[in-house]
């Protein structure tokens, strides 16, 4: 995988995805065994371009790079000449003469694709409006860690069917044999390109992908109940309409009771407490959101060490 960009998990094979997840678990085991620094990227550097705010992605990539012996450089979009109109292509051409990899969080997905097209070094998508591949890799690492398997695990996603995190969970899950059921209103369906890729991958892996309207139908027998914010960064104008539409999709105690006591609760964070999830659920015994957030650090080490030459 050395030298490859990661803009969307559609471009990665099931074996490659599994390998990254296993590598993430290995980095975590070694970290807890006392190997905090594993300098396989000694002397390398990565640029982190962020067009939107971030806590987890920004900090976990920065610390991951450091733990691998590399240096990470945080670059706010508006602080670069990008913010004054220098093109994405020219920025990619120049930055990739300085650094060995680029992590980019962008508004439109086409921007991360353009960066990758003109960069001589790997470009890693740290979230776009279409997908959040590094999140999904960390999430499946967490599920494998807790459940001991991925094939046949049933994940119920409750909420916005057009969500970027869901898109990546769908694509990766379908490749890994995870059964996914999405409960979402008719108006908020997944991106057709993503759904098509997921259905094709599911045919090959044997996983089952379903979209329903009723959240109670979706959580029946679920191993994992997953949700994300109703209003993603940049969608603030649509807030009122989305919040109204998604009211029946709150993950609360009643819904978790319907899922059963063995169901885990996951959320990529940040959470809008009281909106898509209640305090009782996110702070409750079935929630694994803090382990999920922690695993971002270890999966970033897997991603960086596998991709950066
Ligand atoms: N889950 C996630 O990507 O969080 P940040 O926006 O804080 O990076
Ligand atoms: N769907 C959310 C995820 C944040 C990590 C957003 O795009 O804002």
Which residue among 50, 51, 53, 56 has the greatest number of ligand 1 atoms within 8 angstroms of its CB, and so is best to mutate? 56
125 CB contacts (<8 Å, ≥6 apart)?
6, 7, 8, 104, 105, 106, 109, 112, 131, 132, 133, 134
Please report the pLDDT score of residue 85 as a whole number: 95
Q: What is the structure's pLDDT at 262?
A: 96
Ligand 2 pocket, CB under 6 A = 127, 163-165, 228-229, 232-233, 268
At 105 the three-state DSSP class reads: strand
Q: What is the pLDDT of residues 20-71, one digit of tens each?
A: 999 999 999 999 999 999 999 999 999 999 999 999 999 999 999 999 999 9
Query: Active site residue: 56, 109, 267, 296, which one?
Result: 296
Task: Give me ligand 2 centre to Cα 277, in Å.
Answer: 15
Residue 132: active-site member = yes
Please tell me the predicted confidence (pLDDT) of residue 213: 98
Q: Which residues contact 59 (CB under 8 A, 6 or more apart)?
A: none
Task: Tell how far the Cα of 266 is from the centroid of ligand 1, in angstroms.
Answer: 14
CATH numbers and ranges of domains, the chain: 9-132+295-307 (3.40.50.1370), 135-292 (3.40.50.1370)
Question: Mean of the pLDDT values across residues 79-85?
Answer: 95
Q: Which atom of ligand 1 is nearest to the CA of 127?
A: 3
Is 296 an active-site residue?
yes
Q: What is the mean pLDDT of the chain?
A: 98
Mean pLDDT for the stretch of residues 222-248: 97
* Residue 36 a catalytic site member: no
Residue 46 in tokens:
């990565």
Q: Which of 18, 44, 56, 105 is catalytic?
A: 105
């Amino acid at each position: 995988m050395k030298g490859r960009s990661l803009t969307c998990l559609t471009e990665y094979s099931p074996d490659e995805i599994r390998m990254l997840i296993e590598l993430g678990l290995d980095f975590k085991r070694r970290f807890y065994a006392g190997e905090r620094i594993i300098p396989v990227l000694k002397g390398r550097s990565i640029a982190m371009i962020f067009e939107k705010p971030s806590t987890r992605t920004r900090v976990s990539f920065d610390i991951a790079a450091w733990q691998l012996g590399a240096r990470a450089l945080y670059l706010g979009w508006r602080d670069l000449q990008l913010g004054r109109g220098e093109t994405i292509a020219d920025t990619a051409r120049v930055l990739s003469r300085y650094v060995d990899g680029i992590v980019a969080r962008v508004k439109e997905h086409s921007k991360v694709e353009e960066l990758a097209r003109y960069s001589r070094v790997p470009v890693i998508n740290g979230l776009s409006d279409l997908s959040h591949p590094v999140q999904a890799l960390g999430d499946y690492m967490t599920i494998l860690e807790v459940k001991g398997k991925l094939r046949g695990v049933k994940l119920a996603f409750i909420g916005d069917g057009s969500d970027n995190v869901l898109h990546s969970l769908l694509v990766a899950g379908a490749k890994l044999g995870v059964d996914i059921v999405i409960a979402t209103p008719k108006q908020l369906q997944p991106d057709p390109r993503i759904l098509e890729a997921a259905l094709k991958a599911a045919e090959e892996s044997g996983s089952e992908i379903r979209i329903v309207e009723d959240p109670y139908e979706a959580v029946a027998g679920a191993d994992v109940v997953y949700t994300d914010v109703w209003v993603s960064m940049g969608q603030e104008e649509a807030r009122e309409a989305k919040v109204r539409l998604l009211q029946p999709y709150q993950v609360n105690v009643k819904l978790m009771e319907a899922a059963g006591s063995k169901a885990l609760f996951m959320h990529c964070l940040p959470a809008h407490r009281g909106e898509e999830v209640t305090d009782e659920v996110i702070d409750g015994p079935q929630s694994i959101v803090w382990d999920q957030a922690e695993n971002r650090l270890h999966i970033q080490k897997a991603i960086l060490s596998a991709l950066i030459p």
